[in-house]
């Protein structure tokens, strides 16, 4: 019996060693992404001319395909200032940005040689609006993410540009699908060689399986060009991290790396009637929740067709920037914090877990409390200020191993406008009591 146990244990150790090795390679490439926490998503395309749903407007018959595509004649990029975009993104504290190089409508923002459907060839803009943005990002030290829709509802070889028509069976027309594959893979190659993205952000993989997209080949092509390019999950199982969309996870996601992508109001692109802006407070609390659970936030903005960004979006990015700037050490380069049950709110740790950061909503009152913290607290203070706090240990019984409760009062003047962050410097890496109470 003992020998069997030893063999099983040995096998488990080998298996774990293999896992560790793989994850070490992964984590090297993923390191900046895990530290970055905040990215800005930008949906910019011909849909911002009339302010229709991006691509979905014609797919869902809200507008005809012809009327939708006619918007290209109104896409001017006349006041587009990529340097300003990059500076604005930087001021929010974001460490990376992702721009829609091509949405499901098939319109490229760069000078693709694979077909004629680009704002370069068909819009009054008449130029590549993609490349200058990435140049500006790099100048500002921001990582470059390229959004690329695999589905292309306008391409003549793509099955189904309208929800209920022009579908064809791939098996019956392999030559059409092969042409489409050559086309979209050629566009990816263009983007990889011209933009050299740090991150390829795919979308729309749901319409075909991994075999049909040749997802393994696409991944290999990307990594052959740049082994450090990170790929999001929307490549039918061939990506590097998870992308929950719009909805904050309630349970900590299983993916080691994940990113919540979310709109600033209710739509991805600019839509004049949509005034359902999330407030800076809402965005900051959603962001804190994401990082506390080990994830990133990819927050979307939608510029107008001329490249201007509306005052609400600018305001939100600036407010976010004030907050991320003040609380930098609690956000960037940290890891997800306390598991549920120890603290009523989000928290993060420094990587060595000797600092614990507790995020507290601005308008709270009364002391905060941490349960099950089995460390001595060397110092308690408010991040971004020089205010020291005095934790009170409550209910520590000398003969019991169960730690006492930590109560901390936060004085009124220490409270941030949005979220206050309390830093606990611990004697050692964090140790948690995870029992059922009692002795």
10 Å CB burial of residue 116 (0-12, 13-18, 19+) is exposed
Task: Give the count of residues interacting with ligand GLC (CB under 6 A).
Answer: 7
What is the rounded CA–CA span in Å between residue 110 and residue 308?
19
* Residue numbers 321-350 binding ligand GLC by CB under 6 A: none
Nearer to ligand GLC, 287 or 357 (CB): 287
268 versus 323: smaller Cβ distance to ligand GLC: 268
Cβ proximity to ligand GLC: between 198 and 203 the closer is: 203
**Cα 108 from Cα 121, distance rounded (Å):** 10
Question: Does 205 interact with ligand GLC (rule: CB under 6 A)?
Answer: no
Interaction between residue 258 and ligand GLC (CB under 6 A):
no
Q: Compute the least distance from the CB of residue 402 to ligand GLC, in Å.
A: 45
Of residues 54 and 319, the one with the C-beta less far from ligand GLC: 54
Is the Cβ of residue 268 or residue 343 nearer to ligand GLC in the bound state? Answer: 268
- Of how many residues is the chain composed? 439
Q: Residue 260, interface with ligand GLC (CB under 6 A)?
A: no
Residue 401 beta carbon to ligand GLC: minimum distance, rounded to whole angstroms: 47
Tokens 């069976």 found at: 169
203 touches ligand GLC (CB under 6 A): yes
How many other C-beta atoms can be found within 10 angstroms of the C-beta atom of residue 404? Answer: 16
Q: Is 245 in the site for ligand GLC (CB under 6 A)?
A: yes
By C-alpha distance, which of 250, 251, 253, 280 is closest to 264?
A: 280
| Minimum gap (Å) between residue 71 Cβ and ligand GLC | 16
Q: In angstroms, give the least distance from the CB of 165 to ligand GLC.
A: 19
How would DSSP label each residue in 138-185? HHTT-EEEEEEES--TT-TTSS-SBTTBS---TTT-HHHHHHHHHHHH
Contact between 266 and ligand GLC by CB under 6 A: the answer reads: no
CA 183, 185, 187, 193 torsion: positive or negative? negative
Minimum CB distance to ligand GLC smaller for 64 or for 246 = 246
For residue 389, report the phi and psi dihedrals to the nearest 5 degrees. Answer: -120, 160
**Which residue is associated with the tokens 């359902």?**
276
Least distance (Å) between residue 57 CB and ligand GLC: 10
Closest distance between ligand GLC and the C-beta of residue 56, in Å? 6
Q: Is 54 in the site for ligand GLC (CB under 6 A)?
A: yes
Q: Considering the complex, what minimum distance in angstroms separates the CB of residue 300 from ligand GLC? A: 7
**Which residues in 368-387 contact ligand GLC (CB under 6 A)?**
none
DSSP state of 353: S
CB of 1 to ligand GLC, least distance (A): 53
> Does residue 268 bind ligand GLC (CB under 6 A)?
yes
Q: What element of type H or E holds 362? A: none
DSSP 186-211: HHHHHHHHHT--SEEEEE-GGGS-HH
Q: Give whichever of 56 and 281 is closer to ligand GLC, judged by the CB atom.
A: 56
Q: Does 59 bind ligand GLC (CB under 6 A)?
A: no
261 near ligand GLC, rule: CB under 6 A: yes
Q: Which is nearer to ligand GLC, 206 or 433 (CB)?
A: 206
Q: For residue 223, give Cα distances in angstroms to 192, 208, 277, 368, 434.
A: 10, 22, 38, 47, 42
Tell the smallest beta-carbon distance from residue 54 to ligand GLC (Å).
Answer: 5
- Does the CA dihedral 138-35-328-260 come out positive or negative? positive
Does residue 294 contact residue 241 with C-beta atoms inside 8 Å? no
| 183-219 residues labelled b (16+ CB within 10 A) or e (exposed) | bbbebbebbbebbebbbbbbbbbeebebebbbbeebb
Of 245 and 379, which has the nearer Cβ to ligand GLC?
A: 245
Nearer to ligand GLC, 37 or 43 (CB): 43
Minimum Å distance from CB 383 to ligand GLC? 31
The residues that touch ligand GLC, with contacts defined as CB under 6 A, are 43, 54, 56, 203, 245, 261, 268
């Amino acid at each position: 019996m003992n020998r069997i146990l030893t063999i099983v244990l040995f096998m488990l150790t080998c298996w774990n060693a293999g896992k560790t090795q793989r994850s070490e390679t992964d984590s090297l490439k993923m390191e900046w992404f895990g530290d970055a926490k905040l990215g800005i998503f930008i949906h910019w395309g011909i849909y911002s001319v009339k302010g229709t749903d991006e691509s979905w407007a014609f797919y869902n018959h809200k507008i005809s395909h012809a009327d939708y595509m006619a918007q290209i004649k109104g896409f001017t990029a006349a006041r587009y200032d990529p340097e300003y975009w990059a500076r604005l993104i930087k001021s929010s504290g974001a460490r990376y940005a992702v721009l829609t190089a091509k949405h499901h409508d098939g319109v490229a923002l760069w000078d693709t040689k694979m077909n004629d459907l680009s704002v370069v060839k068909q819009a009054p803009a008449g130029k590549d609006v993609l490349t200058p943005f990435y140049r500006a990002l790099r100048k500002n030290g921001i990582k470059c993410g390229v959004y690329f829709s695999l589905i292309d509802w306008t391409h003549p070889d793509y099955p189904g540009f309208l929800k209920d028509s022009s579908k064809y069976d791939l098996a019956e027309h392999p030559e059409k699908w092969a042409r489409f594959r050559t086309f979209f893979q050629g566009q990816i190659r263009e983007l990889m060689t011209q933009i050299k993205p740090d991150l390829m952000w795919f979308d729309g993989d749901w319409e075909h399986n991994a075999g049909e997209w040749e997802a393994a080949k696409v991944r290999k092509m990307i990594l052959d060009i740049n082994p450090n390019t990170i790929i999001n999950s929307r490549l039918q199982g061939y990506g590097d991290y998870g992308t929950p969309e719009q909805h904050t996870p309630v349970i900590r996601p299983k993916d080691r790396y994940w990113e919540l992508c979310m709109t600033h109001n209710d739509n991805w692109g600019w839509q004049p009637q949509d005034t359902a802006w999330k407030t800076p407070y809402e965005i900051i609390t959603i962001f804190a929740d994401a990082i506390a659970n080990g994830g990133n936030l990819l927050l979307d903005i939608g510029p107008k067709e001329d490249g201007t960004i509306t005052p609400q979006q600018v305001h939100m990015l600036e407010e976010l920037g004030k907050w991320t700037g003040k609380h930098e050490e609690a956000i960037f380069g940290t890891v997800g914090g306390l598991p549920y049950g120890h603290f009523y709110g989000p928290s993060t740790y420094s990587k060595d877990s000797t600092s614990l950061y507790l995020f507290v909503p601005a308008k709270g009152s009364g002391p905060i409390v941490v349960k099950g913290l089995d460390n001595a607290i060397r110092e308690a203070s408010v991040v971004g200020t020089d205010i020291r706090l005095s934790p009170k240990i409550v209910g520590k019984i000398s003969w019991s191993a169960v730690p006492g409760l930590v109560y901390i009062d936060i004085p009124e003047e220490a409270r941030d406008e949005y979220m206050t962050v309390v830093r606990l410097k611990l004697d050692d890496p964090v140790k948690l009591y995870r029992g059922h109470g009692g002795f």
